[in-house]
C-alpha cells in the first residue's frame, strides 16, 4: 500500500518550509567562511578560501548523487509501500558515503596537487587555498555520509528532521570558524578545519536521528544484487551530471581569477547571494523530488502532474520575491561580507545581474527536482553536459566584455539547462503512462 503524502498546497508548503529554512543555513557554510575571513580585510585569504571552496565543492559534490539518487529512490520505495527497501537504502547509502569519503581522505596527496595544477590564483592565494583544502579533507567521510542521510530524510518527506540536522551542522560551523580564525588566528586553514569538525558533529546527530531504521534494516535486503546494481546505475548518470555542473562553476572561478584577486573575491561574495537563492528555491525542488518520486512509485500520473504544478507555483512566487530583495538589500549585504573597498565596488557593479538569477534559475532548479525524483539520470546528465558546453562557449565569446561578459554567460547557463530538461518532460510523462515493468 502506498504511503505517499497528500498533494495539496498546504501539504506542499508544510513540507517545503522546513527544507527552505534548512537550505538557508546550507550556504551559511560558505557565507560564514567568507564573512569570517572577509572581516579580517585580507583579500588574498578571502580569494584563497574562494578558490579552495571551488576545489572542495568540485571533489565532494562529484558524489552528490548520494543525496540526489537517495532522495528519488527512497521516495519511490515509499510510494510503492516497500518499507523494507526504504530502510535498506539508508544503510547502503551510508556505507557508500563513508567508504568513498575514506578513499578521498587517503587520496588527497594526489588530488590536491592535481586540482591546483588546473586552478591557480597566484602564490599568495594558492597558499591560503591549499591550507583551506587540506583541512576540509579531514571531514570527507562525514560529509559524504551526511549526503546520504539528508537524501533519505528528504525522500521520505521528513523535512523537519532534515532541518534540525542542517541547523546543527551550520551552527557548529559558524562557532568553530570564529573560534579558529578570530581567536586562534589560523586564517584560511582555520576556516577549513572548523567546517570539517562541524561535519563530524552533524554526522553524529544524523546517526542519532535515523538510528532506529539502521537497526531494523534486513540483512537480506541490504545485499540484494538487483537493488545494488540499480543504485549504481542510477547514480552513475547523476554523478556525471554533477561533475558537469561543478566544472561549470570551476570555470566560473577560473574566469574570475583570470581577472584578478579582487574580481575573484567579489565573485565569491556575489556567489553567496546565488547560493542563498538556489538553496532556498531548492526547498520546492526537493519537495518536487519527493512528491514526483512517490507518484512514480505509486504509478500515479495525475499526482505527478499536480506535484509539478504546485511546486512550480511556489517556486515562481519565491523567485520574484528574491529578485526584488537582492535589488533592495544587496548593497548592504556586500558591505557586511567584506571591508575591502575595491571588492565592494566590483561586486556592487554586478549586483543587477545577480538580481536576475532567481527568475532565470528557478525553472532549471525545479526541473532538476522533477527528474531527480524520477531517477531519470540520463536526462539530467545530458542536460548538464549540454548547458556546461554552451556556457563555456558563451564565456569565451563574451570575454571582451570582462566581468559583465562573465556574468551574462553564467546567467545563460541556467536558461540552457532548463531548456534541455524541458525537452525531456514529454518523454517522462509518456513513460509513466505505460504499464509498470515486471520485476
Residue 416 lies inside a defined structural domain of this protein: yes
Place of cell 573575491: 265
Contact 364, 64 (CB under 8 A): no
The parent domain of residue 295 ranges over 9-430
Inside any domain, residue 360? yes
Give the distance, in angstroms, between the CA of residue 76 and the centroid of all CA atoms in the same chain.
21
- Using CA atoms, how far apart are residues 439 and 395, in angstroms rounded to an integer? 47
In terms of DSSP H, where are the helices of 374-402? 377-397
For residue 4, tell me if it sits in a domain. Answer: no
Calpha distance 63→209 (Å, rounded): 22
Distance CA 218, CA 215 (A): 8
- Alpha-carbon distance of 203 to 190, in angstroms, equals 20
Whether residue 122 contacts residue 45, with contact meaning beta carbons closer than 8 Å, is answered with no
Q: Dihedral sign, CA of 47, 52, 58, 64?
A: negative
Q: How far apart are CA 138 and CA 160, in angstroms?
A: 28
- DSSP per-residue codes, 21-65: HHHHHSTHHHHHHHHHHHTTT-HHHHHHHHHHHHHHHHHHHTTTH
Rounded Cα distance between 274 and 323, Å, is 11
Average pLDDT, the chain: 85
**Which helix (H) or strand (E) element contains residue 80?**
none
pLDDT digits (tens, 9 = 90+) for 132-146: 999 999 999 999 999
Q: In the prediction, which pLDDT does 265 show?
A: 81
Count CB-CB contacts under 10 A for residue 226.
8
* Rounded-to-10 torsion of CA 314, 302, 428, 233: 90
Is residue 437 a part of any domain in this protein? no
Give a yes or no: residue 439 inside a domain: no
**Spans in the chain with pLDDT lower than 70:** 1-5, 25-31, 38-43, 119-123, 216-227, 433-439
User: Where do runs of H (alpha helix) occur along 121-260?
Assistant: 123-136, 140-155, 159-178, 187-216, 219-222, 225-258
Are the C-beta atoms of 175 and 212 separated by less than 8 Å? no
Grid cell in block for residue 328: 533592495
**What is the pLDDT, as a whole number, of residue 40?**
60
Reference 389, options 408, 411, 363, 417; nearest CA is 417
Find where cell 525524483 sits: 373
Cα–Cα distance between 121 and 264 in angstroms, integer?
Answer: 9
**Is 2 within the bounds of a domain?**
no
Write out the three cell numbers for 72: 528519488
Q: How far apart are CA 380 and CA 366, in angstroms?
A: 12
Number of domains in the chain: 1
Do the domain assignments include residue 22?
yes
pLDDT of residue 438: 45
Q: How many CB atoms lie within 10 A of CB 255?
A: 24
Rounded Cα distance, 211 and 153, in Å: 12
CA separation for the pair 62, 68 (Å, rounded): 11
If DSSP states are collapsed to H, E and C, what string results for 175-187? HHHHHHHHHCCCH
How large is the greatest C-alpha to C-alpha distance in the chain, in angstroms?
Answer: 64
Domain membership flag for residue 435: no
Amino acid at each position: 500500500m502506498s504511503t505517499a503524502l497528500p498533494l495539496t498546497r498546504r501539504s506542499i508548503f508544510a513540507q517545503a518550509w522546513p527544507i527552505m529554512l534548512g537550505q538557508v543555513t546550507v550556504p551559511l557554510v560558505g557565507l560564514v567562511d567568507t564573512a569570517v575571513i572577509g572581516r579580517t580585510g585580507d583579500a588574498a585569504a578571502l580569494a584563497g578560501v574562494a578558490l579552495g571552496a571551488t576545489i572542495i565543492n568540485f571533489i565532494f559534490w562529484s558524489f552528490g548523487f548520494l543525496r540526489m539518487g537517495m532522495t528519488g529512490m527512497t521516495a519511490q520505495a515509499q510510494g510503492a509501500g516497500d518499507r523494507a527497501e526504504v530502510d535498506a537504502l539508508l544503510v547502503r547509502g551510508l556505507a557508500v558515503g563513508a567508504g568513498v569519503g575514506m578513499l578521498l581522505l587517503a587520496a588527497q596527496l594526489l588530488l590536491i596537487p592535481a586540482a591546483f595544477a588546473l586552478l591557480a590564483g597566484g602564490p599568495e592565494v594558492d597558499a591560503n587555498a591549499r591550507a583551506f583544502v587540506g583541512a576540509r579533507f579531514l571531514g570527507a567521510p562525514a560529509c559524504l555520509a551526511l549526503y546520504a542521510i539528508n537524501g533519505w530524510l528528504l525522500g521520505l518527506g521528513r523535512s523537519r528532521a532534515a532541518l534540525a540536522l542542517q541547523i546543527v551542522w551550520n551552527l557548529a560551523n559558524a562557532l568553530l570558524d570564529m573560534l579558529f580564525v578570530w581567536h586562534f588566528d589560523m586564517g584560511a586553514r582555520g576556516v577549513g578545519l572548523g567546517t570539517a569538525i562541524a561535519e563530524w558533529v552533524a554526522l553524529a546527530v544524523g546517526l542519532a536521528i535515523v538510528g532506529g531504521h539502521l537497526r531494523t534494516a534486513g540483512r537480506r535486503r541490504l545485499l540484494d544484487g538487483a537493488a545494488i546494481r540499480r543504485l549504481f546505475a542510477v547514480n552513475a548518470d547523476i554523478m556525471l551530471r554533477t561533475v558537469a555542473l561543478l566544472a561549470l562553476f570551476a570555470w566560473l572561478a577560473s574566469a574570475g581569477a583570470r581577472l584578478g584577486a579582487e574580481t575573484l573575491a567579489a565573485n565569491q561574495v556575489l556567489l553567496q547571494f546565488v547560493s542563498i537563492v538556489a538553496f532556498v528555491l531548492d526547498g520546492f525542488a526537493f519537495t518536487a523530488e519527493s512528491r514526483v518520486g512517490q507518484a512514480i512509485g505509486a504509478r500515479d500520473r495525475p499526482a505527478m502532474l499536480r506535484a509539478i504544478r504546485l511546486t512550480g507555483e511556489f517556486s515562481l512566487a519565491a523567485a520574484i520575491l528574491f529578485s526584488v530583495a537582492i535589488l533592495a538589500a544587496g548593497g548592504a549585504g556586500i558591505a557586511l561580507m567584506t571591508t575591502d573597498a575595491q571588492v565592494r565596488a566590483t561586486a556592487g557593479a554586478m549586483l543587477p545581474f545577480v538580481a536576475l538569477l532567481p527568475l532565470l534559475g528557478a525553472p532549471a532548479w525545479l526541473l532538476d527536482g522533477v527528474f531527480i525524483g524520477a531517477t531519470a539520470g540520463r536526462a539530467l546528465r545530458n542536460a548538464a553536459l549540454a548547458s556546461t558546453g554552451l556556457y563555456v562557449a558563451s564565456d569565451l565569446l563574451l570575454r571582451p566584455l570582462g566581468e559583465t561578459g562573465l556574468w551574462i554567460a553564467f546567467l545563460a547557463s541556467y536558461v540552457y539547462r532548463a531548456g534541455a530538461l524541458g525537452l525531456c518532460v514529454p518523454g517522462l510523462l509518456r513513460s509513466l503512462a505505460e504499464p509498470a515493468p515486471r520485476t
